[in-house]
Amino acid sequence: MSTPLTLLLIAVVLCLIGVYLSWTAGRLDRLHTRIDATKAALDAQLLRRASVAQELATSGVLDPAASIVLYEAAHAARQAEEDQREVAESELSQALRAVFEAPEQVEAVRGAPGGEEAVHELAEAARRVPMARRFHNDAVRAARALRRHRKVRWFRLAGHAPFPLAVEMDDEPPPALTDRAPSAG
């Protein structure tokens, strides 16, 4: 094979590798954008849930013991540092389940002035937290799978972006709050 032809072939191959790598980098970039968006959505829902919980705790609708438990948990969830957040939010989930364990409690809050809206808002947020977390972790999983690939590690296609971490927490909503099966309709 003549030298110019060999050089040409090498150039073509390098070019193809370049295109492929650039395409992969684009894919990775899109995944990172998706992670940012889903994280923001999860943050918004968590914040919403904590706000309504705090509002309910200070409203005087609940008994004093329940109010304190809920207030503490909601306050801690809102103030938590990033590395403590999953624990604090999980504790808020547990507190909500404990306070709204009895369907009668939910009914009592509904009966208070403005209670219907508060319960609705809390139920909406409590239902959307697991949803948002699932979407976020789904994006994280896709990004991690791609980032572990040889081509991404060898060519450092991820740049300085931190390795994405899934959000692990207890987000089980209180059944009395979200179970619409028998009462709806």
184 binds other proteins (CB under 8 A): yes
Q: Rounded distance, CA 128 to CA 132, Å?
A: 6
Cα–Cα distances (Å) from 37 to 23, 45, 140, in that order, read: 21, 13, 11
- The mark string for 140-159 relative to other proteins (x by CB under 8 A, - otherwise) is -xx--xx-------------
27 or 75: CB nearest other proteins: 27
At 82 the three-state DSSP class reads: helix
Contact 42, 36 (CB under 8 A): no
Nearer to other proteins, 27 or 110 (CB): 27
Interaction with other proteins in 26-55: which residues (CB under 8 A)?
Answer: 26-27, 30-31, 34, 37-38, 40-41, 44-45
Nearest to 124 by CA among 53, 35, 182, 36: 53
Residues engaged in binding other proteins (CB under 8 A): 23, 26-27, 30-31, 34, 37-38, 40-41, 44-45, 124, 127-128, 130-132, 134-135, 137-139, 141-142, 145-146, 180-182, 184-185
